[in-house]
């Protein structure tokens, strides 16, 4: 069978190492495998009198032959690791992990107590009994590893001998334990440890990731500690996270208090007796009108809603439905109604619905929905209030199930009030660590009261260009989260957060992000292509990453709500619009043109075939009191500043696309000229002249000396600093 050779590491006095290279049959292994075989070695600092030992003197080699029996392998490794050298002695106890499977042998090194040696060795020696369940094992041995001074060579030699004896004694003890029945359980436990370490340190980078995320680099020792910590089922949650901007779930739960429902205005009622008298009168008019047009149908029942009353028409056998729909204008004339809406037929029923505006409309207050069981019993922090249906039933929705929404309607139809209801619902349902809000308000007045909330991801954005950069930041955050999900081996943010909480790593829990754009038309006018691309990417991919988008506009035209945007937003909310064309733009069906305004809406949920009519909730005067209550509990922790993003974008736009390549070129030259840049980069005179002017303004080259070439001040060190700065901006 093949042999695997480990070359290095070469120790230095500054507790670091060089040249940890793995080779097989004389060829370097792939980089991904070398990263997995990375050996982290902790060495003690030498004494002041210790001579500087040449690096080559600390060079040693470990030879692992997979064809040998496990017991023989255990006996040969300590001798290989403790092989004496002419110019260096070793005294610090070092633990080396070998993870063995059918294809490769992996090596890790770290400081571990001697008492931890036996269990890992037992996992390999007893691998036959657990072969059906495992595919790797952990094997541990000891060696010495710190250079000492020549004056203490005799003492150090004794320590080396003692270390070798300790290793041999450990091996003997392990062999004695192999016959114990308890070894089987220990072997399985330690295999799980080894496999967990391997998964943590070897994660395939997904191709969709563009920028490197800020993932913690864990050593083997840290990974092993994390594994032991996750096994403690009843362990207490840690306190504050190491970052000042991170608040743990437990501490937030104790500090943050949800607003009281008493801050909301009480529900209102109408005179039901007067409404019934009016409804009976409408029933009589409908029956008489249908009979006048020789339609064999009559009103079967009616339902009084907050804004409209639905009359259910029962048709005689053989009567076509279109006989009712063709009478739309005639019925509106007979009823003297402002407008009517015919639903033919009502989904799930054998009747046709005719909806007529109420004589007395009732305002649905937000408290009516937030006090309902549907909202109170929902466990999702993304639960929001929608309104009530025709039967007066409170309706709620989970943004996570939407997962993105389009809200459209004419001015004064109730869009902004609906957005306020969503935001207040989130304040009553979600902790600041559970949900983060990114609010974009080009009108600069609708969402201004929410500035300073601890739930905010950034200050409320009113500049359309800054909003485009904020959406770009969100796309990068989405890619970053996907890499974290891939590294953790989970499919969505819910599984990731559950695993982080189970391990006690509350600082790694990722909050949901809800983006609300109050007026999309303003953004599309300033940066149409960019905004459309960012929205398309977010709506296509961001659901599993816990990022959700709600877009509102008062101009539901195809140049604002493009096909790309609409196709990726399954949930639609249509308020009153001017024409049937606008209704079809939003819902792909007619009906919104017959709504009454003031919160009257058609809600098309994700996966639903037909929209349902709802009356939206009203919340206006109590917003300030609720927001003030939340603000006083804790300050916001913004993750980015929109102004800084905008400045960085402006600086990036002002720089030529090949400016970095020009810097790489001049760093290796002594002189440069406009004509030289033209020839080297195959560009025109004007562009080359602009690049020369930019280089001069940054003092990278000298000023003009007639027709002579410019002297170059830009060095390779300057190039390296420039490149590092560019990477930091990504």
What tokens appear for 304 in the block? Answer: 């009084």
For position 723, what pLDDT does the model report? Answer: 85
pLDDT digits (tens, 9 = 90+) for 29-46: 444 444 444 433 333 333
What tokens appear for 229 in the block? Answer: 């910590």
446 and 529 fall within a common domain: yes
From 76-80, 179-183, 357-361, 599-603, the region with the lowest mean pLDDT: 76-80
Of 457 and 236, more confident? 457
Whether residue 249 lies inside any domain: the answer is no
336 and 427 fall within a common domain: no
CATH of the domain at 716: 1.10.10.10
392 labelled ligand-binding? no
pLDDT digits (tens, 9 = 90+) for 690-722: 889 889 888 899 998 888 899 999 998 888 888
What tokens appear for 446 in the block? Answer: 């609708």
Whether residue 160 lies inside any domain: the answer is yes
44 and 163 fall within a common domain: yes
Q: What is the C-alpha R_g of the chain? A: 36
Please check whether residue 143 is in contact with residue 90, taking contact to mean a CB–CB distance below 8 angstroms.
yes
Q: Tell me the torsion sign for CA atoms 407, 409, 411, 417.
A: negative
Q: Which residue range forms the structural domain that includes residue 672?
A: 655-729
What's the burial of 220, exposed, middle or buried (CB within 10 Å: 0-12/13-18/19+)? buried
Give the pTM: 0.59
172 labelled ligand-binding? no
348 labelled ligand-binding? no
Which residue in the block uniquely carries the two structure tokens 């004389």? 26
590 and 529 fall within a common domain: yes
- Confidence grade of residue 483 (pLDDT, cut at 50, 70, 90): very high
Please check whether residue 47 is in contact with residue 149, taking contact to mean a CB–CB distance below 8 angstroms.
yes
pLDDT digits (tens, 9 = 90+) for 179-233: 444 554 555 555 555 555 445 544 443 333 333 333 333 333 444 444 444 444 3
Phi and psi at 397, nearest 5°, equal -145, 150
Kindly write down the DSSP assignment for every residue of 124-174, as one continuous string: HHTGGGGTTT-S-EEEEEEEE-----GGGHHHHHHHHHHHHHHHHHHHHHH
629 and 661 fall within a common domain: no
- Confidence grade of residue 247 (pLDDT, cut at 50, 70, 90): very low
CA distance 730 to 724: 10
pLDDT at 351 over 90: yes
Of 305 and 234, more confident? 305
408 and 291 fall within a common domain: no
Whether residue 260 lies inside any domain: the answer is no
For position 694, what pLDDT does the model report? Answer: 86
Short-list 586, 588, 590, 612, CA closest to 601: 612
339 and 409 fall within a common domain: no
412 labelled ligand-binding? yes
CA distance 614 to 618: 13
CATH of the domain at 560: 3.40.50.300
Whether residue 305 lies inside any domain: the answer is yes
For position 493, what pLDDT does the model report? Answer: 94
CA distance 72 to 91: 25
- Confidence grade of residue 618 (pLDDT, cut at 50, 70, 90): very high
487 labelled ligand-binding? no
114 and 58 fall within a common domain: yes
387 labelled ligand-binding? no
For position 367, what pLDDT does the model report? Answer: 93
Whether residue 540 lies inside any domain: the answer is yes
From 1-5, 261-265, 291-295, the region with the lowest mean pLDDT: 1-5
Q: What is the mean pLDDT of residues 533-547?
A: 92
Whether residue 230 lies inside any domain: the answer is no
pLDDT digits (tens, 9 = 90+) for 44-99: 333 333 333 333 333 333 344 444 444 444 444 444 344 343 333 333 333 343 44
Whether residue 233 lies inside any domain: the answer is no
For position 708, what pLDDT does the model report? Answer: 87
Please check whether residue 243 is in contact with residue 220, taking contact to mean a CB–CB distance below 8 angstroms.
no
Q: What is the mean pLDDT of residues 321-329?
A: 92
- Confidence grade of residue 166 (pLDDT, cut at 50, 70, 90): low
Q: What is the mean pLDDT of residues 332-347?
A: 90
CA distance 679 to 299: 85
Please check whether residue 333 is in contact with residue 389, taking contact to mean a CB–CB distance below 8 angstroms.
no
39 and 81 fall within a common domain: yes
Residue after which a domain boundary falls, among 357, 376, 410:
357
For position 105, what pLDDT does the model report? Answer: 41
pLDDT at 240 over 80: no
421 and 542 fall within a common domain: yes
Number of domains in the chain: 4
Q: What is the mean pLDDT of residues 562-574?
A: 88
From 232-246, 340-354, 482-496, 556-570, the region with the lowest mean pLDDT: 232-246
pLDDT at 127 over 70: no
- By residue count, the chain amounts to 730
Average pLDDT, the chain: 73
What tokens appear for 686 in the block? Answer: 């004007």
Which residue in the block uniquely carries the two structure tokens 């009517």? 340
CA of residue 586 relative to chain centroid, distance: 28
452 labelled ligand-binding? no
pLDDT digits (tens, 9 = 90+) for 366-400: 999 999 999 999 999 999 999 999 888 999 999 99
pLDDT at 510 over 70: yes
CA distance 302 to 283: 8
For position 697, what pLDDT does the model report? Answer: 87
pLDDT digits (tens, 9 = 90+) for 428-453: 999 999 999 999 998 888 899 999 99
pLDDT at 512 over 90: yes
Short-list 107, 132, 114, CA closest to 40: 107
Whether residue 295 lies inside any domain: the answer is yes
CA distance 321 to 302: 19
pLDDT at 517 over 70: yes
For position 2, what pLDDT does the model report? Answer: 38
CATH of the domain at 330: 3.30.980.40
721 labelled ligand-binding? no
pLDDT at 516 over 90: yes
**Pairing relation of β-strands 352-357 and 308-315?**
antiparallel
Residue after which a domain boundary falls, among 330, 357, 384:
357
318 and 413 fall within a common domain: no
Report the chain's terminal Cα–Cα distance, integer Å.
47
Residue after which a domain boundary falls, among 201, 216, 231:
201
628 and 677 fall within a common domain: no
Q: What is the percent of the chain where pLDDT is above 70?
A: 64
For position 129, what pLDDT does the model report? Answer: 36
């Amino acid at each position: 069978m093949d042999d695997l050779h480990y070359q290095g590491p070469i120790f230095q006095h500054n507790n670091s190492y060089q040249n940890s290279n793995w080779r097989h049959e004389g060829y370097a292994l792939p980089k991904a495998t070398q990263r997995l075989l990375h050996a982290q070695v902790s060495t003690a600092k030498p004494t002041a009198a210790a001579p500087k030992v040449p690096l080559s003197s600390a060079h040693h080699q470990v030879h692992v032959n997979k064809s040998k029996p496990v017991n023989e392998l255990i006996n040969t490794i300590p001798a290989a690791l403790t092989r004496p050298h002419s110019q260096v002695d070793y005294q610090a106890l070092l633990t080396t992990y070998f993870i063995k499977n059918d294809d490769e042998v992996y090596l890790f090194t770290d400081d571990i107590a001697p008492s931890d040696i036996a269990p890992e060795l037992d996992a390999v020696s007893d691998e036959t009994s657990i072969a059906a369940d495992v595919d790797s094992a952990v094997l541990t041995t000891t060696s010495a590893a710190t250079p000492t001074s020549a004056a203490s060579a005799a003492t150090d030699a004794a320590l080396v001998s003692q270390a070798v004896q300790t290793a041999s004694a450990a091996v003997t003890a392990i062999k004695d334990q192999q016959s114990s029945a308890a070894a089987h359980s220990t072997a399985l436990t330690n295999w799980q440890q080894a496999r967990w370490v391997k998964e943590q340190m070897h994660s395939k980078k997904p191709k969709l990731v563009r920028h490197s995320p800020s993932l913690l680099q864990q050593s083997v020792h840290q990974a092993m500690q994390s594994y032991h910590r996750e096994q403690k089922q009843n362990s207490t949650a840690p306190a504050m996270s190491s970052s000042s901007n991170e608040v743990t779930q437990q501490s937030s739960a104790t500090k943050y208090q949800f607003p009281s429902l008493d801050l909301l205005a009480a529900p209102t009622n109408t005179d039901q007796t007067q409404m019934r008298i009016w409804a009976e009168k409408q029933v009589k008019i409908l029956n008489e009108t249908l009979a006048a047009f020789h339609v064999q149908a009559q009103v079967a029942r009616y339902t009084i809603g907050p804004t409209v009353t639905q009359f259910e028409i029962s048709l005689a056998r053989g009567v076509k439905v279109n006989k009712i729909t063709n009478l739309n204008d005639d019925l509106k004339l007979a009823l003297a109604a402002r407008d009517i809406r015919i639903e033919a037929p009502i989904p799930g029923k054998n009747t046709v619905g005719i909806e007529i505006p109420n004589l007395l409309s009732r305002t649905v207050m937000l408290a009516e929905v937030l006090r309902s069981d549907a909202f109170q019993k929902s466990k999702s922090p993304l639960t929001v209030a929608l309104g009530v249906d025709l039967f007066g039933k409170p309706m709620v929705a989970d943004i996570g199930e939407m997962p993105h929404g389009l809200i459209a309607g004419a001015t004064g139809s109730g869009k902004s009030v609906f957005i306020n209801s969503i935001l207040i619902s989130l304040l009553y349902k979600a902790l600041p660590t559970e949900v983060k809000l990114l609010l974009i308000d080009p009108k600069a007045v609708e969402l201004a009261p929410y500035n300073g909330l601890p739930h905010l991801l950034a200050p409320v954005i009113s500049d359309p260009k800054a909003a485009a950069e904020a959406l770009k930041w969100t796309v990068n955050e989405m890619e970053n989260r996907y890499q974290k999900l891939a590294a953790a081996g989970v499919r969505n943010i819910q599984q990731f957060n559950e695993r982080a909480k189970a391990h006690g790593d509350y600082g790694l829990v990722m909050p949901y992000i809800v983006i609300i754009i109050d007026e999309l038309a303003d953004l599309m006018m300033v940066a149409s292509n960019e905004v459309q691309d960012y929205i398309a990417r977010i709506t296509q991919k961001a659901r599993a990453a816990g990022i959700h988008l709600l877009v509102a506009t008062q101009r539901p035209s195809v140049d604002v709500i493009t096909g790309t945007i609409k196709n990726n937003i399954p949930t639609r909310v249509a308020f009153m619009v001017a024409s049937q064309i606008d209704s079809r733009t939003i819902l792909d069906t007619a009906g919104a043109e017959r709504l009454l305004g003031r919160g009257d809406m058609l809600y098309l949920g994700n996966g639903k075939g037909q929209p349902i009519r709802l009356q939206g909730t009203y919340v206006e005067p109590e917003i300030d009191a609720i927001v003030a209550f939340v603000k006083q509990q804790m300050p916001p922790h913004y993750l980015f500043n929109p102004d800084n993003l905008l400045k960085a974008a402006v600086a990036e736009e002002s720089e030529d696309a090949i400016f970095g390549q020009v810097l790489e070129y001049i760093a290796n030259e002594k002189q440069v000229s406009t004509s030289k840049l033209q020839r080297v980069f195959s560009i025109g005179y004007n562009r080359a002249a602009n690049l020369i002017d930019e280089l001069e303004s940054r003092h990278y080259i000298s000023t003009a000396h007639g027709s002579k070439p410019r002297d170059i001040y830009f060095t390779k060190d300057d190039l390296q600093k420039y490149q590092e700065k560019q990477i930091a901006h990504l």
